[in-house]
């Protein structure tokens, strides 16, 4: 699944960062690298953007960018 398909409170492990060029480099620079745990914290009222917790901080991403991040569910709690 991709990051935008997760439910609030669900956690997963990043398996791949897709995208090309500058976008991919920007995502990697923000700490979105494979084998990193990520938790979906909030979704904006209109569905975009989303807020995730990664490496101890909150990061807000547009849905367009979240679709580039592949994750595998690690059995985290779903609220």
| Residue range 68-78, pLDDT digits in tens | 999 998 755 44
3-class DSSP state of 23: helix
Token pair 């991709």 is found at 2
Whether the predicted pLDDT of 79 surpasses 60 = no
Q: Is residue 47 part of a domain?
A: yes
- Distance of alpha carbon 4 from alpha carbon 66, whole angstroms: 5
Would residue 78 count as lying in a domain? no
Tally the domains of the chain. Answer: 1
- pTM for the structure as a whole: 0.82
Q: Which two tokens stand for residue 72?
A: 């595998």
What is the residue range of 54's domain? 3-73
pLDDT digits (tens, 9 = 90+) for 22-67: 988 998 988 899 999 999 999 999 989 999 999 999 999 999 999 9
Residue 63 exposure: Cα atoms within 13 Å on the Cβ side: 11
2: pLDDT strictly greater than 70: yes
| Alpha-carbon span 75 to 28, nearest angstrom | 24
| Residue found by looking up tokens 């367009």 in the block | 64
pLDDT of residue 45: 92
């Amino acid at each position: 699944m991709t990051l935008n398909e997760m439910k609030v409170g669900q956690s997963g492990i990043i398996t791949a960062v897709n995208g090309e060029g500058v976008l991919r480099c920007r995502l990697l620079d923000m700490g979105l690298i494979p084998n990193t745990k990520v938790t979906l914290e909030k979704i904006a009222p209109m569905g975009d953007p989303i807020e995730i917790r990664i490496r101890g901080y909150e990061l807000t991403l547009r849905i367009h960018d979240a679709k580039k991040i592949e994750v595998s569910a690690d059995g985290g709690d779903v609220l």
